[in-house]
Amino acid sequence: MQILSRIPQLLIYGVISGSILSLGGIGVSLTYSILGFANFAHGDFMALGAYIALGLFTLTAGLGIPSTPLGPLSFGFGFILSFILAMGLTALTVVLIDRFLFKRLRHTSSIILMMSSIGVALGLRNVLQFFWGPQPHYYIEKIQLAIVIPGVGVRIKPDQVFIIIAAIVSVGLVHYFLQHTKMGKAMRATADNMALARVTGINTERVILWTWVIGATLAATAGILAGIENKFITPELGWQMLLSIFASVVLGGLGNPYGAILGGMIIGLSEEVSTAFISTGYKPAVAFIIMIIMLLIKPTGLLGKRR
């Protein structure tokens, strides 16, 4: 009975962690569907975004841009400005990584691309560690009090409400892009059949560019939101989440961004709810077991493409 009473609260945590996993998963899924490889550097794109935001936040504070908390949130305008700029700078960095590395390897095999992404992952993480060190850095050190939702008795912090809203807005924008813009439709067409996209006259190089821009922007968003949720960031932030993100993407169906959103939510909820029954240390194991079960039952995932 005591265990069951904890579940509503764990569901809230699950939605928060699911929101972050979903945002990370969309990028992994898009890269896989357009470029055909599992990008192991995606977690480190998240960490990169989180650290660029930290750097910019320090800079805005130094420039005297105010960051008095907005309403009930623990951060203000200066932080939100850093957040938005960090999304753009992360996208720019990732596009440069593509130009200098992935683009040159695109004619080789998906295995070589995957291996080189592991190299990018290690490289990025060490660059972050070089500049900021391995120790945690705090966005905001102040402790925020949770609001108790009357009736249900669950507690949620205003920052956590912000995370959920930011995730919903991001997912809504991705959906609008994919379904209602010419480039979004071209991206889905290229994911279906790149050779046909080329003979149709679709500029597949520009599609690839947009794939990286969107994936990286969402990765930065996920990294920064994870930093807000955890209160601190480390260079390992994204890498630690990568297994859960891969599990989400496989669960939802490799190559389907909507599957990544669904998978992220399921993995996030399962990981959090599992803590009512088993030790918190087993969270990654829960994601891994779900992924293996899915691969055994239906390898194409919940919303996977029929081949």
Host H or E run for residue 193: none
The values of phi and psi at residue 142, to 5°, are -65, 140
Task: Find the shortest distance in angstroms from Cβ 305 to other proteins.
Answer: 7
283-291: long-range contacts (C-beta < 8 A, 24 or more apart)? Answer: 283/244, 284/243, 284/244, 287/243, 287/244, 287/247, 287/248, 288/243, 288/247, 290/247, 290/251, 290/266, 291/246, 291/247, 291/250, 291/251
For other proteins, give the closer residue by CB, 231 or 305: 305
For other proteins, give the closer residue by CB, 148 or 196: 196
Residues that bind other proteins (CB under 8 A): 182, 185-186, 188-189, 191-193, 195-203, 305-306
For other proteins, give the closer residue by CB, 154 or 191: 191
| Residue labelled with tokens 């240390």 | 281
Task: Find the shortest distance in angstroms from Cβ 204 to other proteins.
Answer: 8
| Cα angle for residues 93, 97, 101 (degrees, 5° grid) | 175
For other proteins, give the closer residue by CB, 104 or 206: 206
Task: Find the shortest distance in angstroms from Cβ 209 to other proteins.
Answer: 15
Task: Please answer whether residues 48 and 37 qualify as being in contact, where contact means their C-beta atoms are separated by less than 8 angstroms.
Answer: no
For other proteins, give the closer residue by CB, 5 or 181: 181
| Residue labelled with tokens 């059949």 | 193
Helix (H, G, I), strand (E, B) or coil at 279: coil
For other proteins, give the closer residue by CB, 197 or 220: 197
For other proteins, give the closer residue by CB, 189 or 209: 189
Task: Find the shortest distance in angstroms from Cβ 203 to other proteins.
Answer: 7
Task: Find the shortest distance in angstroms from Cβ 173 to other proteins.
Answer: 19
Nearest alpha-carbon partner for 223 in 43, 18, 15: 43
What does the alpha-carbon distance between residue 300 and residue 262 come to, in Å, rounded to a whole number? Answer: 14
Q: What value does the CA radius of gyration of the chain take, rounded to a whole number of Å?
A: 19
The DSSP output letter for 282 is G
Task: Find the shortest distance in angstroms from Cβ 192 to other proteins.
Answer: 4
Task: Find the shortest distance in angstroms from Cβ 212 to other proteins.
Answer: 20
